[in-house]
Amino acid sequence: MRNILTIYRRELMSYFTSPIAYIFICAFLVVMGVFFFFYNPFFQQPNPDLRNYYSILPLTFALLIPAVTMRLWSEEKKSGTVELLMTLPLKSWELVIAKFLAGYSVMVITLLLTMTVPLSVSLVVDLDWGVIFASYLGALCLAAVYISVGSAISAMTENQIVALLSAMVVLFILWGIGFPQVVQALNNVVGRLGTGLGWFGSLYHFENFAKGLVNPVDIVYAVSMTAFFLVLNNFAVEWRKF
């Protein structure tokens, strides 16, 4: 645990001693704010709520989270410091967990800052805080999956741009296959297999949270997907030892 905390602090500080975290947080808040104030007809709704505001989270995550994860391993490889890390008395999985937690912490901080929107809106209209809580729980689960995906991809290349673009492609696919239209199109091509593939779509599971439903199946999805990509990340790191 001490090794994980040491690497975690190092990684988290590296985000905030460079412009990366600040640019990411500002970009995220601007995208969400623009959507809320200019594209979301909040005050025109007969019963205003924030479901439309939170519905943009999966797409925003797919667009911006790769900017957080691209440097986690690619920068270490390019600078050669990953070789130094491999010589330290650290297990690969400790490095993987620590780097994942650092990226995840940036996302948690960012999501906490978005709380200013529901808190401000609650001064004007009554909100269903159960739905808001479920939406944030879903966002935290989704962020864990996306960061684990981006981290695993970063561990496979030493080029940060390649890591960024590759993660964006994979996350857009993961987001897109959950759409009912995509599932139906896949069913037309590969039969009921399309429904099975659609289950892996992040949108499919996040929509339940956005409706205020906390389904254990959706939490299991997030935990299992995160664990799978962290294991894949660990394999990519271990491969460098051979």
pLDDT of residue 83: 60
pLDDT, tens only, 151-170? 999 988 888 899 999 999 99
pLDDT, tens only, 27-50? 999 988 888 777 766 666 666 677
Furthest C-alpha separation in the chain: 62
Q: What is the mean pLDDT of each run of 10 residues along the chain (242 residues)?
A: 84 87 91 78 67 84 91 72 65 88 95 89 82 92 95 88 92 85 75 74 85 88 94 85 51
Using DSSP, state whether 98 is helix, strand or coil: helix
pLDDT of residue 19: 86
pLDDT of residue 112: 94
pLDDT of residue 43: 64
Q: What is the number of other CB atoms lying within 10 angstroms of the CB of residue 70?
A: 26
User: What are 224's two structure tokens?
Assistant: 């299992």
Instruction: Tell me which DSSP letter residue 39 carries.
Output: I
- Pairwise CA distance, residues 55 & 60, whole Å: 9
From 97, 116, 120, select the one nearest 43 (Cα to Cα). 120
Whole-structure pTM value: 0.88
pLDDT of residue 242: 46
Q: What is the number of other CB atoms lying within 10 angstroms of the CB of residue 34?
A: 12
Q: What is the number of other CB atoms lying within 10 angstroms of the CB of residue 187?
A: 16
Provide φ and ψ at 213, rounded to 5°. Answer: -100, 120
